[in-house]
Amino acid sequence: MLWEDSNYRGLLGFWEDSNGSIKYN
């Protein structure tokens, strides 16, 4: 998924970890 990319993490302000949990920057 796009959230795995650090650039998208920064843009979206959140990402999904390997367990499917939402993490926030």
Q: Taking residues 1-25, report their average pLDDT.
A: 67
Does residue 5 surpass a pLDDT of 60?
yes
What pTM value is reported for the model?
0.25
Cα–Cα distance measured from residue 8 to residue 15, given in angstroms and rounded to the nearest whole number: 8
Strands 14-16 and 22-24: antiparallel
Q: Which two tokens stand for residue 3?
A: 């959230």
Q: Which two tokens stand for residue 19?
A: 């367990």
Cα–Cα distance measured from residue 19 to residue 12, given in angstroms and rounded to the nearest whole number: 19
CB 23 within 8 A of CB 13: no
Angstrom CA distances, 7 to 12, 17, stand at 9, 15
Q: Where do the domains of the chain lie?
A: 1-25
| pLDDT reported for residue 1 | 54
